[in-house]
Amino acid sequence: MAAWSVHGEVGAQGLAPLHALGPSDADLYKCVHCGLCLSACPTYLETGLETESPRGRIALMKAVREGKVGYTGRVVSHLELCLQCRACEAACPSGVPFGRLMEHTRAQVKEQRPGSLLRRIALRAVFRGLLPHQGRLYALGGLLRLYQRSPLYWLMRRLPGRLGRLQEQLPPFPKRFFRPQAGAFNPPGEARARVALLSGCVMPILHGPTMEAAVRVLARNGCQVVTPLGQGCCGALNLHGGDREQAQAMARRNIDAFLETGVEAVVVVSAGCGAAMKEYPHLLQDDPAYAEKARRFSAMVVDVSEFLATLPLAEPSRSMDMRVTYQDACHLAHAQRVTRQPRDLLRRIPGVTLVEMEDASLCCGAAGLYMALQPVMSRQLMARKAKAILKTGAEVVVSGNPGCMVQMQAGLRAAGSAVRVAHLVDLLEEAYGE
């Protein structure tokens, strides 16, 4: 959709002009305020406040658009408490693109009310200094892994307050990181498909063995797998944080890296990344050099569960004999509308009893950087999700997004539970006996 006019004129509706980063009128005025989104919104369910609902936040966006209020501290606080989980989109009968509204609004807030100097420095360090640079991410991961194995880490965990809680939330770093490599990983027999695997930013560091499992499961099902060296972070965290310019640069980098491989599909094991990459056409719609490339690229992007569900799946032979529950990652269920395929694949594993949890598609409170920026609400949702998991009596909880996995691990640890958190491909690999 076209962005707001910046020509300094009042439009036909008498609306005061705002910066082009804001949401379009076509998106903003699609909401009819029916309220069907309320029961799907995690922050509304926790607070019961209209201002913490999608309908309430859209009303605030409209008020800003119409010049009735500015981006005051209170207005911004309501907007920033949104998880951008997009559950409201799945519930909305009018098709309001709430995720897009929030992305454009956050970009506008970032420009007009950037926050304290310390916050600006910290976010810029993450968005510009860290996420676009894979080498720095691996170096930081290596340092944190050493720190986690040191006596200092165990001492810091016992500190009271927020600093101690941050140590508790820090996930265990694996012995191996996953790194993109030149060449291809070939299947045991003749290749039925040639695919590329997104490595991304968080997955290869926090879940390196899961990335390796994804390669092996794809190969086990007849795929030649390539991991382009030129790829990088998908830009989702930047986009959700209002840094559209850097997100666009990261999108162009990935488009170039993957299109030149000549693959049939770009397989993603992180729900947030998949959602962002499928929406590159909107992100780059005003870029004449990349608009068509973005459309071509996004048509190739597919979640690993979606892709495996289209194949004549090699039947797992090893019986797992376990009770499993499934947590819908927000950007898989609500943004990509993929809910059936992961469950169908879990049911294909011998010995797995799939037990549905209460509110399986309600956000766990991870939401990228949300767990650090909004720790109180994040912990409330984390505890709620841990309670729902434990109620199922499952031994394993499966999800399709690294943030969800980290958050659920922390929540279950806090509840004193040993329930295992795993990705779908982890269980499939074990069922194949790899």
CA distance 255 to 386: 37
pLDDT in tens, 268-320: 999 999 999 999 999 999 999 999 999 999 999 999 999 999 999 999 989 99
Element (H, E) at 373: helix 370-373
As a residue count, the chain comes to 434
- Kindly state the DSSP code that residue 207 receives in the 8-state scheme: S
Query: What pLDDT was estimated at residue 370?
Result: 92
Mean pLDDT of 214-234: 96
335: helix, coil or strand? Answer: helix
CA-to-CA separations, 213 to 14, 241, 432, 433, in angstroms, rounded: 57, 31, 11, 11
Q: What stretch(es) of the chain map to CATH 1.10.1060.10?
A: 25-113
Q: Does 14 score more than 70 pLDDT?
A: no
Question: For the chain, where do the domains classified as CATH 3.40.50.10700 start and end?
Answer: 315-432
Position 81: which residue type?
L
Helix (H, G, I), strand (E, B) or coil at 301: strand
Work out the percent of the chain whose per-residue pLDDT is above 70: 95
Residue 346 in this model has a pLDDT that exceeds 60: yes
**Residue 197 phi, psi (nearest 5):** -115, 125
What's the topology of domain 25-113? Answer: Fumarate Reductase Iron-sulfur Protein; Chain B, domain 2 (1.10.1060)
Split at pLDDT 50, 70, 90, the class of 3 is very low
What is residue 18's predicted lDDT score, i.e. its pLDDT?
42
pLDDT of 5 > 60? The answer is no
Quick one: how far is CA 81 from the chain centroid? 16
Beta bridge partners of 398: 326, 422
Domain with CATH 1.20.1050.140 in the chain: 184-309
- The predicted structure's pLDDT at residue 6: 25
Q: Which helix (H) or strand (E) holds 189?
A: none
Q: Could you report the per-residue pLDDT of 123-175, keeping only the tens digit for each?
A: 899 999 999 999 999 999 999 999 999 999 888 888 887 777 777 778 889 99
CATH number for the domain whose boundaries are 184-309: 1.20.1050.140
CATH 3.40.50.10700 fits 315-432, yes or no: yes
At 38-95, the pLDDT tens digits run 999 999 999 999 999 999 999 999 999 999 999 999 999 999 999 999 999 999 999 9
Residue 434: band (very low, low, confident or very high) from pLDDT cuts 50, 70, 90: low
Mean pLDDT along residues 325-334: 97
User: What's the average model confidence in pLDDT over 348-360?
Assistant: 96
Which amino acid is located at 429 in the chain?
E
| pLDDT confidence of residue 1 | 29
Least confident of 156-170, 237-251, 350-364: 156-170
| DSSP-derived secondary structure for 134-149 | HHHHHHHHHHHHHHHT
Cβ-based neighbours of 66, under 8 Å, separated by 6 or more: 15, 16
Its sign, for the CA torsion 159, 372, 82, 61, is positive
Percent of the chain with pLDDT over 90: 82
Q: Does the pLDDT of residue 231 top 60, yes or no? A: yes
State the pairing for strand pair 223-226/184-185. Answer: antiparallel
Residue pair 232/132 in contact (Cβ under 8 Å)? The answer is: yes
329 pLDDT above the threshold of 60: yes
pLDDT at 351 over 80: yes
> How far apart are alpha carbons 415 and 248 in whole angstroms?
40
**Residue 179: is it exposed, middle or buried by C-beta count within 10 angstroms (0-12/13-18/19+)?**
middle
Local structure of residue 15 (DSSP, 8 states): P
Q: Output the six-digit token pair for 379.
A: 């912990």
Cα atoms in the 13 Å half-sphere on the side-chain side of 36 = 11
Within 8 A by CB and 6+ apart from 420, the residues are 395, 396, 397
Q: 360 φ, ψ to 5°?
A: -60, -25
pLDDT bin (cut points 50, 70, 90) of residue 11 is very low
Taking each continuous run of H as one helix and of E as one strand, the counts in the chain are 24, 9
353: pLDDT confidence band, cut at 50, 70 and 90? very high
Residue 116's identity, in one-letter code, is S
Distance, in Å, from the CA atom of 331 to the CA atom of 279, rounded to the nearest integer, reads 12
Look at residue 20 in the predicted model and tell me its pLDDT: 59
Alpha carbons 407 and 372: distance in angstroms, whole number? 11
Return all residues near 3 (Cβ < 8 A) that are at least 6 apart. Answer: 20, 21, 22, 24, 104
Scanning 32-160, the segments in alpha helix (DSSP H) are 42-47, 54-65, 73-80, 87-91, 98-112, 117-127, 134-148, 151-156
- DSSP, residue by residue, 400-420: S-HHHHHHHHHHHHHTT---E
pLDDT category at 189 given cuts 50, 70, 90 is confident
122: its two tokens: 């910290």
pLDDT at 161: 76
Give the C-alpha separation, 406 to 420, whole Å: 11
Distance CA 193, CA 188 (A): 13
Listed residue (102, 13, 91, 111) closest to 60, CA to CA:
102
